[in-house]
Chain A
């Protein structure tokens, strides 16, 4: 970059960017702060920005009422599990669409995406009955499977767009050198595809973690993830904002932290072919 940027401009942009960022982040910050307030302080008006009496009471109460760690464990298993299984199926499919495209490739891709357009509520009862008959209700296996299915189209699409940007010449050059296919995949394609795969993995863990319809309706006690944990705090009798905030903080913190630490990896592969 050759152009020098005046300090004045730097500061203008900095201040502007920080204001916008803080506005966007405010609801989350507010949730965190409210989690440390007493119920009475949580509904003070005019609102108290910082908790007047810092307390951990809400977190203790939430933990005595429901087993956070069990829900957390379930969320981890189903979101990571569904993503890993999904990758095993999606990587080969995306590979074949990217490197051996046919006239139908685009249609297949769009068809895959269109399977996501069926409104979930419309098929709840049929799926519930299928789950019941297969004994999958309230099992981690069942939830893992369904999350894998609903996210598979996004995974294929994301990987496909990433793979397509890998220059085909390199693969062909290696093929000329007599590399067998599995070597081609392991030594050439994979290293180049890792950023795309990593970012697909992250995005789908996030989507699966936050999925709240199927996970809530197909689980009861054993497999209930954090979405069900939240549903037990959403509107009880009496004041509940502080407890709700504490529960929300516990439910979103893991994925938020994961997102913060991995945002570079997440962004790198999440172009969906947007960048040529």
Chain B
């Protein structure tokens, strides 16, 4: 890179506004959260106030829901990643073929991405998954099964389905773009050598998609770790703690207990966990994106 000293200076100046603004946006809430996490601060009980020591952390980490919430967060994130990446590749391969009405098909497939999470969750909960009037119940009775109370019997799976439906279009778009950039000649050459579809896919297509998959995982993880609206609208984290994730647990403390101290401690814990995930992601991204 032959950037001159001047351009370097200029580059730094241009970078600064974004860095400073994001730094403030990060540090101010973070410091306040750390501060509150050591306080007894309940919005609706102003009497019980003062320095709390580590008790907020103690209570958050020993919460009977904590480990399940932690596990649910991982299950939710990994399942949605798996569904959207695999589904995205398959859909991408399909949409990469010659199809009559391709434009419309593509529009239909990407549409869920534009839907507000609350709307998506409300529609799925009421009009699809309702065991008495929902479409799924109707399909089940048509096939001769008893209707399934989705949100009661498979709460976490239901949420995974809803969230995966929202993110599948994103994965499909990115992966499809990557597929389309795959050199046609490369494929043809391999095809002439007698490679069948499977080996073509494993040796040519998949390696080519590695970067795209990485990107999908990275961006989605950021959003999936804090999935919350879908849970609030559909199951409120239940039955029991069956669909509670960390974000929902913190929500419970912040807006049902109004326990600002406890929610702050939860926030700090979540940041630490998220950063552990981030370190893994950085490794992954670093490996795949630099190459």
Contact = CB atoms under 8 A, between A and B. Distances in A.
Q: Establish whether A and B are touching in the complex (CB under 8 Å).
A: yes
A170 B226 CA distance: 42
A117 interface: yes
B103 to A, nearest CB: 9
A117 B271 contact: yes
A230 B119 contact: yes
Nearest to A127: B29
A114 B138 contact: no
A58 interface: no
A1 interface: yes
Interface string A115-130: 1111111111111001
A93 B14 contact: yes
A174 B214 CA distance: 34
Contacts of A259: 110-111, 113-114
Interface in A254-268: 255-256, 258-260, 263, 266-267
Interface in A33-87: 34, 43-47
A172 B212 contact: no
Contacts of A227: 116, 118
Contacts of A270: 173-174, 177
B197 interface: no
B181 A275 contact: yes
Interface string A1-42: 111010001110110111011101111101100100000000
Interface residues of A, number: 97
Nearest to B259: A125
What's the dominant secondary structure at chain A's contact region?
helix
A194 interface: no
B99 A17 contact: yes
Contacts of B30: 118
Nearest to B285: A110
A178 to B, nearest CB: 14
A186 interface: no
A266 to B, nearest CB: 8
A47 B135 contact: yes
A93 B185 CA distance: 37
A152 B268 CA distance: 22
A10 B25 contact: no
Contacts of B282: 106, 110
Nearest to A105: B15
A206 B28 CA distance: 27
B82 interface: no
Nearest to A120: B226
B254 A124 contact: yes
Interface string A143-165: 00000010011101000000000
A272 B120 contact: no
B123 A123 contact: no
Contact of A241 (B100, B126, B214): B126
B105 interface: yes
Given A108-B19, A118-B270, A119-B226, A30 B111 contact: no
Contacts of A222: none
B22 interface: yes
B58 interface: no
Which among B14, B36, B100, B178 has the greatest number of chain A C-beta atoms within 10 A? B14
B245 to A, nearest CB: 10
A166 interface: no
B155 interface: no
23 contacts: A3-B188, A9-B97, A25-B111, A45-B138, A90-B18, A95-B11, A96-B12, A100-B10, A113-B218, A114-B274, A117-B226, A118-B29, A118-B271, A121-B267, A124-B255, A125-B36, A206-B114, A241-B127, A244-B126, A271-B178, A272-B174, A274-B214, A275-B177
